[in-house]
Amino acid sequence: MALSEKYLITVIGPTAIGKTALAIEIAKHFKCDIISADSRQFFKEMTIGTAAPSKEELKAAPHHFIQNISIFEEYSVGDFERDAIAMLDRLYKKDDVAVMVGGSGLYIDAVLKGLDNFPDIEPAIRQQLIKEYETKGIAYLQDELQRLDPQHYNKVAKENPQRLMRALEVCIGTGKPYSSFLNSKKSNRNFTSILIGLNAERELMYGRINQRVNLMVQSGLVEEARNLHKYKTLNALQTVGYRELFSYFDGEISLDFAIEEIKKNTRRFAKRQITWFKRAENATWFDFEAPPQEIINYIEQQIHANS
């Protein structure tokens, strides 16, 4: 029976919590497609280090935005918003339900609510910031953002130079705080959102992260990163799992230390994800070990209550 509305079921939560497996079960139940909102899994050259879905998982349900572009292509959150909304428009012509899954909070928000409107910034400002970063390090970017926009400084991922430079270029280019452009205008969407969160006790989550990193190393992460080392300055590769191994290849740290750093930085990343997702309105949270059918039953109840 066709539903009177279209639904986007979005699965959120920290890395290594089991989002992909749950999304596949939901998609199989509703016989629908999955949109990936994991900004690291867009890139075809980055498979092991991004924990991209396996061939078996990709066969279990149709996926979109998995390894669909190259690390040599520029692809912004705005590009993803445009492409994902266009994909949903196509999917809703044949299905009433679609699933979105991922750990990139900004990309999920872009699809669910639309992006904030930022003015165009002179490219020379970003180039100057890159030079400052290369000569003075990330502490310079952090100090500058704290000075120019303390409100955003308290929220931003302070170890992510790309996020810091993005905020700084807006501050410098407009003379206004980056935070003043946030939450300005949101887009209307033609679907009803059902937001499902997965969580776990912190120690359990950290154990899963450590285990996943060990599996990545066993699966060939070091070799994958070595093949990408010569491209280490590309934006796509400024991410956990690759940066640490690039430092190993450059002779700065040992391999064992690099692997421990990957685990530590992934745990920090998971903490930031939790902070971001806990702000999500109307999210219903389930323990990561909850049976998928229990979550599917809840989704069915929400859809029927709205019909």
**Spatial CB neighbours of 206, under 8 Å, sequence gap ≥ 6:** 267, 270
Q: How far apart are CA 197 and CA 267, in angstroms?
A: 18
Pair of tokens at residue 134 = 């290369």
Confidence band of 9 (pLDDT split at 50, 70, 90): very high
Q: For residues 10 and 117, which has the higher predicted lDDT (pLDDT)? A: 10
Q: Do the annotations mark residue 17 as ligand-binding? A: yes
* H/E segment holding residue 12: strand 7-12
Note whether 221 and 245 are within 8 A (CB): yes
Tell me what the pLDDT averaged over the chain comes to. Answer: 93
Q: Do the annotations mark residue 192 as ligand-binding? A: no
Tell me if residue 11 falls in helix, strand or coil.
Answer: strand
Percentage of residues in the chain having pLDDT higher than 70 = 98
Pick the CATH number of 7-115+187-306 from 3.40.50.10900, 2.40.160.60, 3.40.50.10950, 3.40.50.300: 3.40.50.300
Residues 99-135 pLDDT 10s: 999 999 989 999 998 877 777 888 889 889 998 998 9
Tell me if residue 272 falls in helix, strand or coil.
Answer: helix
Q: Do the annotations mark residue 262 as ligand-binding? A: no
Q: Quote the pLDDT of residue 186.
A: 62
Q: For residues 173 and 229, which has the higher predicted lDDT (pLDDT)? A: 229
* H/E segment holding residue 167: helix 161-174
CB atoms within 10 A of CB 216: 22
Confidence band of 263 (pLDDT split at 50, 70, 90): very high
Q: Quote the pLDDT of residue 1.
A: 46
Residues 231-245 pLDDT 10s: 999 989 999 999 999
Q: Quote the pLDDT of residue 51.
A: 94
Q: Quote the pLDDT of residue 301.
A: 96
Q: Quote the pLDDT of residue 185.
A: 58
**Spatial CB neighbours of 287, under 8 Å, sequence gap ≥ 6:** 198, 199, 200
Domain ranges of the chain: 7-115+187-306, 123-181
Residues 37-54 pLDDT 10s: 999 999 999 999 999 999
Q: Do the annotations mark residue 16 as ligand-binding? A: yes
Q: Do the annotations mark residue 15 as ligand-binding? A: yes
| Mean pLDDT for the stretch of residues 261-272 | 95
Indicate whether 4 pLDDT > 80.
no
Q: What angle do CA 223, 229, 232 make, to 5 degrees?
A: 140
Q: How far apart are CA 217 and CA 5, in angstroms?
A: 45
Residues 148-205 pLDDT 10s: 999 999 988 888 888 899 999 999 998 989 988 886 656 789 999 999 999 999 999 9
| Mean pLDDT for the stretch of residues 242-253 | 97
Q: Do the annotations mark residue 271 as ligand-binding? A: no
Confidence band of 306 (pLDDT split at 50, 70, 90): confident
Q: Give the gyration radius of the chain's Cα atoms.
A: 20
Q: How far apart are CA 92 and CA 21, in angstroms?
A: 23
For the domain made up of 123-181, give the CATH fold: Histone, subunit A (1.10.20)
Q: How far apart are CA 118 and CA 113, in angstroms?
A: 15
Q: Which of 121, 151, 153, 123 is nearest to 138 (CA)?
A: 153
pTM: 0.82
* H/E segment holding residue 194: strand 192-199
Sheet of strand 34-36: strand arrangement: 63-64, 34-36, 97-101, 7-12, 192-199, 283-287
Q: Do the annotations mark residue 175 as ligand-binding? A: no
Q: How far apart are CA 247 and CA 254, in angstroms?
A: 9
How far does the chain reach from its first CA to its final CA, in angstroms?
A: 11
Q: Do the annotations mark residue 27 as ligand-binding? A: no
